[in-house]
Structure 1
Amino acid sequence: MSKKKILFFTSNLHRTGAEIVLFDIIHQLDVSKFDIGLVLLERNGALIDQIAPHIQVFYLDTQFSIWDKIKFHAGQDVILHRIQTIQNEFDASVWYINTIQNAFLLQFKDHFKVKSFLHVHEYLYNFEQLEIKDCKRLFEQVDYLVSCSDLVQDFFAPIFPKISFVLHSGINKKLIDTCLLDFSKTKNEKKKIISSGTICYRKGVDIFLSISKNFPANEYEFIWLGKWANNGYAEVIRRQILTGKYTNVQFLDNVSSQEYYKELASADAFITCSREESMGLVAMEAIYCGVPVLATNSGGSSLMVNENNGILCQDFRPNILSMELHVLLEKQFSLNSMRESIQSFDIQKECQNLESYLLN
């Protein structure tokens, strides 16, 4: 029996939730059933060096040189030509496109005899950033819509004309265990409050800063683990930090996986201030590490945060969240109970379900 050839398209394999989930998927699929190709739109992702040797990697350069621009104006579709080169070499029968950010690739689908999967990790806020022509392609040219959570599935299934199903996003528990092998939690001199994610408006970094001002710097430290977005919001936050008003706040960027999980596991509490979440993998990571979570009820957080692992707050005001944080720090939580509360989010089982769709 010949193996199914699948090309996975994703942005860069940096350590964002959507990229990590895709990384886990391509390594969980049964190699006896699938030949796997990975197409990256950007180079130098943090996870690239960890790709298994059986996965064939291609780069689709979406930037145009002067010569490319000349060819484009002469009538050549430069991106299509590059995709044809990859497709001719790999001969995929399935395209699996990761995130709505890459939905523009669907415009090239009809040039090839392939079925298409689009993995939607985003919720409504992100669709404002999607051009309407790419949103229409989602509904018209995708054969299978993969939802990252029940929240996303419940919204899109009634309006998507073909097949949609849930692949619950999950965390790589084996990786976390490996990173924490020699870790032993000790009592911090100060209460350590951590959050994580790309430094952007949707993640509520400004709310995090406001909360920090309600806690004395000699008793509490607030740490944000995540990359700086390349936008005006991140620049405003950076300049806020430079004012010196937030003396108990640190931003840690470009940390390794081991450093990230050790820092996370050392916290007394984790805050997710997201204004909207489709799932919330960073909260799941904290819970698995035994760190109680204070979460705004931003969608996906309601799927996992409960009395066994933290507090779900219905209010986004920093003074209310600060009061809830005091309550959270007084509570006691069992590591076993916390881990059991997210036991249903198992990426291995989810990939087994995905395989049945890929083999259709």
Structure 2
Amino acid sequence: MNVSVTRRKILFFTPYATRTGSEMLIYYILKYLDRSKFEAGLVCFAHGELLTDLPADIPVFMAPGKFSLTDKIAFHLGFHPTHRAIKKISNTFKADLWYINTVMLADVVKIASELQIPVISHIHELSAMYSQISSKDFETVLTGSNLHIGCSDIVCKCLEESGSTHVKRLYPFVDLNEIHPDPEKVKQIRQEWGAGPDDFVWIMSGTTSERKGFDLLPEIALQIPEGSKIHLVWVGHSSDDGLVYWTKRRCAKLTNVKVHLIGAKKEDYYSYMDAADGFMLTSRQEPFGMVLVEAAWLGKPIVSFASGGPSEFITPELGTVVPNLDIALFVESMIAWNKKLPTFNKELARQKAQEFSVENGVAKWQNIIEQF
């Protein structure tokens, strides 16, 4: 006897479709979704680079994130262009569930409530981002969602403290199969940096923001003793703002440490990561940090501030968690790992990373959805 299975239709919402950790997670879900159980569509508010990499069977719908002149006129006449676009998309892709990938899309939650569509909000943010939205919008996300998924225990705790009564934890996950550094490229990169065999390179990956601690880079460098043969590398999108300008000027004056600000490296990203000897997470606040999984898979010891989620990943065998913003101890820990590198257990680090593989992550995600 054949039993037909009804596929559940899920409409995902994500802001920019860029290669940030939270949006990469949606990309992985859409890529590895069990097509026998689920049918998915994606709504985005900007033409991000991830849209070109999505599987062909995922329909993409665009909603205006920035208003044209016509949109602005319509808005002042009482027609909200974004709301109108989302409702039109809803009529086209009649979903059983909306899956909203941030705390920043309160308007989408409002529309779902109006249309009586169940909502899951996947939250990747801590308090630094809560200040970027109004209390009313934050309350809307909390009360208008049928389920919240937090990316770490610390995020789940914040949601529960804010009043959410239905919270599940789902750690971020990484497609470890895509991590293929090129050994020759790695050698070339170290030569470009002027890093000799006895030099120790510490790398950080992230946007050049205050939350990520970009401005702490020169503070860390100044604490490193002369003659330590240490390089500091920052890979990631560089913002065009005063904090970045100020930090770059300070880095340019350093003489005891070589600092390399190399920008975003999409094509050879993992080769750049692998060219380093250790990974430093300088974030003031970090919900989890998918890059920690990448660093562990590549066999790099990690030094991080106790900025939230990293404490849930890093064990003493993998690295050191330093009290938040204790820069002196941060540098002391970096130097200690320089000396301990020959005894670092890379296989143990890879085993830890394997727990956060895309196969494990998508299976856990689908279990949450099926229970819901």
TM-score (norm 2): 0.88
2: CA distance, partners of 1:302 / 1:144? 25
Deviation at 1:66, TM superposition (A): 1.8
Deviation at 1:253, TM superposition (A): 1.8
In structure 2, the partner of 1:289 is 298
Within the candidate set 259, 275, 278, 1:266 is matched to 275
Within the candidate set 231, 236, 239, 1:229 is matched to 239
In structure 2, the partner of 1:110 is 113
Within the candidate set 337, 351, 359, 1:348 is matched to 359
2: CA distance, partners of 1:74 / 1:352? 46
In structure 1, the partner of 2:148 is 145
Q: Does structure 2 conserve the Cα–Cα contact (< 8 Å) formed by 1:198 and 1:227?
A: yes
In structure 1, the partner of 2:219 is 210
Q: 1:210-241: CA deviations, max 9, x gaps?
A: 22232558933211011123544334324444
Equivalent position SS for 2:105? helix
Question: Identity of paired residues, percent?
Answer: 26
TM-score (norm 1): 0.91
In structure 2, the partner of 1:41 is 45
In structure 1, the partner of 2:78 is 75
**Count of aligned positions:** 355
1:1-360 to structure 2, matched below 5 A, reads 1-43=5-47, 45-157=48-160, 159-176=162-179, 179-180=180-181, 188-189=195-196, 190-213=199-222, 214-216=224-226, 219-229=229-239, 231-241=241-251, 243-245=252-254, 248-257=258-267, 259-314=268-323, 316-331=325-340, 332-359=343-370, 360=372
The residue type equivalent to 1:24 in the other structure is Y
Gaps of 5+ in 1: none
1: CA distance, partners of 2:138 / 2:245? 29
Q: Does structure 2 conserve the Cα–Cα contact (< 8 Å) formed by 1:168 and 1:347?
A: no
1: CA distance, partners of 2:358 / 2:166? 21
1: CA distance, partners of 2:121 / 2:184? 38
When structure 1 is superposed on structure 2, of 103-112 and 199-208 the one drifting more is 103-112
Structure 1 pair 128–217 and aligned structure 2 pair: CA distance change class (3 A):
farther
When structure 1 is superposed on structure 2, of 155-164 and 264-273 the one drifting more is 155-164
Equivalent position SS for 2:104? helix
The residue type equivalent to 1:98 in the other structure is N
Output the aligned Cα RMSD.
Answer: 2.3
Q: Does structure 2 conserve the Cα–Cα contact (< 8 Å) formed by 1:147 and 1:153?
A: yes
Equivalent position SS for 2:148? strand
Equivalent position SS for 2:247? helix
